[in-house]
Structure formats: structure tokens, C-alpha cells
């Protein structure tokens, strides 16, 4: 992929010296929804690109890897550029406090030793995380990522600045989501149950954004008050938008099984995982986080689950 020419002068620039090693690409990857996510373009000529819809308007960021002096330089375009750059430390894990977390298990101790600089980033943007999380409910990853890609490409907006040359896009605004007719959601391979939940979330977009300032349990209560938002979806939002270390994606097809296999040599169900994580209350999400960071998962036997075939001719 060719890097875009820096033809448009940035609207804002920031040089941040965090005083610690920061694996920029790995931390931004936490926010990406599949390798083809149009809102992210990572590792393009030494820069990582991200587009978002901030409270001040759309923004595109180009973030360089940390230089030998420990400085991270980021440039931004669009009316939301200053807001996005103000949030850069939080996005790159600066608010994530591991105090009080004890790995306890040798596998977790080793994972923490091997990945000492990984942290949970937070965007502070709730709808940005909520929409793709709803789309990912109860479908294969392939189908979920394809639906989200199609939604952004068909109804999002090109990112401001030179990142648009990479195909960088901003998610659709809430008003656009509210107006999409039912037949258009079907063209995107997003069934009525999920599209209704997205539209409902868009109708309550302002209230949803206020969730970003709440403690984890209260944030979960507010999120789950929306029809179509359950424990898994709420946890996915808490992890990404709030950087909540206690959020666990119960109901995920892989998480409980992989944690059980990695730490105890057997597959857990959600109830077993909940019991197992009790000693880490307040930091429960760090256990699956470290298991995933270490690349530990149960052996995948047999073919992948195929996407559903009930909607033909879907735009990818």
C-alpha cells in the first residue's frame, strides 16, 4: 500500500513524550474491527491512520511509532483533530492503571513479562464502539466484519486529509443510521434484529456518549437498557470506549474456552469463567487480555463456521 502524499497541511500536530515504551500499532489494533476496517489503516510507511467522529466533528489521525527519544508524533486533519489529539494519550493506554493486578498464574506471569508495555486504550467514543459490536452479535467474524465494512463504505464519509487516498473512512453519523431503510440493512447483510438495535442506539446517541464518563457497572447498566444490547455487547464497548479492565466478553464464542484451555487445560463455559475470574475482581478483563496477547487459544479443529447463506448478492 502506497503512503499518501502529505499534500494537505494538518490542522493540528502533537509531539507526546509518554515516558514509557508505547507499542503504537499494537494499541491502535485494539480499536480495529478486522483487518479490512476502513476506519483504520495501520503500518503504512511508518504511520498508523485512524478516522473517527469526535464531539467536535470528524477527524483523521496519522500516528508515528515512538522514536528513539521516546516521542510519538501525531498529525490530525478535520474539525475534530484537536479533540482527537488531546485524547491521544488515553487512546494509547496512558489512563490504564495495572495497580492491584496480580497475575497469579504462571501463564499470566509469563504473558505479562513478554508484553510489559501492552495497555488498554480508550477512545471515549461510545457509539463508535457500540455500532460494530452490535453488528458482530451472533454471527461469524467474517460476516460481522464484512457487514461493518459495507456499512462504512456505503454510508460513511471519506476521512479528512491525505488519509482519504488510502480509503480511510469515518463511520456514518447517527442521523444517517437512523434514516437507513430496512432493505438497505439487508443489502449490508445485517439482519433486522441487529439493524433495529443499531438504529435504536443511534436514536439515543447523545445519551450513549455520556456513558463514557461513568464507572464500569453504571456504564453497563445504561448500555444494557437499550433493546438489543446484552452483556457481550456492553463489555465490548466498555473495553474499547472506556478502557475498562474489569469488562469481560461473556457470551463470546471463544473467550471462555480459550482462557480455560490456556490456564487449566480444559474448556470453560461462561459460568466457569465467571467463577475463575473472581479473585481478579476489578481487573477481570486483564486475564483474557493477556491470554490473547500471548496468542494462546485452544486448537481449532475442523472447518471454520461458514457465513449464513440466507442473503445473496450482498455488497461486501
Model pLDDT, residue 301: 65
Q: Parse the chain into domains and list their residue ranges.
A: 12-97, 126-241
**Helix intervals (H) in the chain:** 24-29, 81-86, 88-91, 106-114, 126-135, 141-155, 174-179, 182-187, 192-203, 205-209, 216-224, 231-241, 255-264, 270-276, 286-293
pLDDT tens over the chain, length 316 residues: 555 554 578 999 999 999 999 999 999 999 999 989 999 999 987 899 999 999 999 999 999 999 999 999 999 999 999 999 999 999 999 999 999 999 999 999 999 999 999 999 999 999 999 999 999 998 887 888 899 999 999 999 999 999 999 999 999 999 999 999 999 999 999 999 999 999 999 999 999 999 999 999 999 999 999 999 999 999 999 999 999 999 999 999 999 999 999 999 999 999 999 999 999 999 999 999 999 999 988 887 644 444 444 443 333 3
Q: Other C-beta atoms within 10 Å of 15: how many?
A: 11
Model pLDDT, residue 8: 74
Task: Report the C-alpha gap between 232 and 249 in whole angstroms.
Answer: 5
Secondary structure of residue 84 in the 3-state scheme: helix
Task: Report the C-alpha gap between 108 and 288 in whole angstroms.
Answer: 9
CATH number of 126-241: 1.10.340.30
**What number of H helices and E strands is found in the chain?**
15, 7
Model pLDDT, residue 298: 86
Tell how far CA 236 is from the center of its chain.
Answer: 7
Amino acid at each position: 500500500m502506497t503512503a499518501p502524499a502529505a499534500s494537505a497541511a494538518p490542522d493540528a500536530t502533537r509531539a507526546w513524550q509518554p515516558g514509557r515504551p508505547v507499542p503504537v500499532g499494537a494499541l491502535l489494533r485494539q480499536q480495529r474491527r478486522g483487518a479490512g476496517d476502513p476506519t483504520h489503516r495501520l503500518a503504512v510507511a511508518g504511520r498508523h491512520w485512524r478516522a473517527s467522529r469526535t464531539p467536535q466533528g470528524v477527524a483523521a489521525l496519522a500516528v508515528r511509532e515512538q522514536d528513539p527519544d521516546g516521542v510519538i508524533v501525531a498529525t490530525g486533519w478535520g474539525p475534530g483533530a484537536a479533540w482527537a489529539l488531546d485524547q491521544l494519550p488515553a487512546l494509547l493506554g496512558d489512563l490504564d492503571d495495572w495497580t492491584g493486578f496480580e497475575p497469579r498464574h504462571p501463564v499470566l506471569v509469563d504473558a505479562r513479562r513478554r508484553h510489559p508495555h501492552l495497555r488498554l486504550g480508550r477512545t471515549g467514543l461510545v457509539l463508535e464502539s457500540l455500532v460494530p459490536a452490535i453488528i458482530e452479535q451472533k454471527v461469524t467474524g467474517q460476516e460481522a466484519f464484512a457487514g461493518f465494512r459495507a456499512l462504512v463504505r456505503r454510508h460513511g464519509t471519506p476521512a479528512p486529509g491525505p488519509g482519504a487516498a488510502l480509503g480511510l473512512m469515518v463511520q456514518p453519523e447517527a442521523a444517517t443510521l437512523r434514516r437507513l431503510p430496512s432493505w438497505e440493512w439487508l443489502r449490508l447483510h445485517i439482519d433486522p434484529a441487529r439493524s433495529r438495535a443499531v438504529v435504536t442506539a443511534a436514536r439515543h446517541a447523545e445519551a450513549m456518549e455520556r456513558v463514557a464518563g461513568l464507572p464500569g457497572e453504571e456504564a453497563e447498566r445504561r448500555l444494557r437498557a437499550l433493546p438489543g444490547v446484552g452483556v457481550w455487547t456492553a463489555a465490548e464497548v466498555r473495553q474499547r470506549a472506556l478502557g475498562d479492565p474489569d469488562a469481560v466478553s461473556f457470551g463470546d464464542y471463544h473467550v471462555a474456552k480459550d482462557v480455560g484451555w490456556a490456564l487449566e487445560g480444559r474448556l470453560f463455559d461462561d459460568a466457569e469463567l465467571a467463577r475463575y475470574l473472581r479473585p481478579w475482581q476489578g481487573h477481570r478483563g486483564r486475564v483474557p487480555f493477556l491470554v490473547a496477547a500471548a496468542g494462546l487459544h485452544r486448537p481449532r479443529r475442523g472447518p471454520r463456521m461458514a457465513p449464513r447463506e440466507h442473503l445473496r448478492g450482498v455488497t461486501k
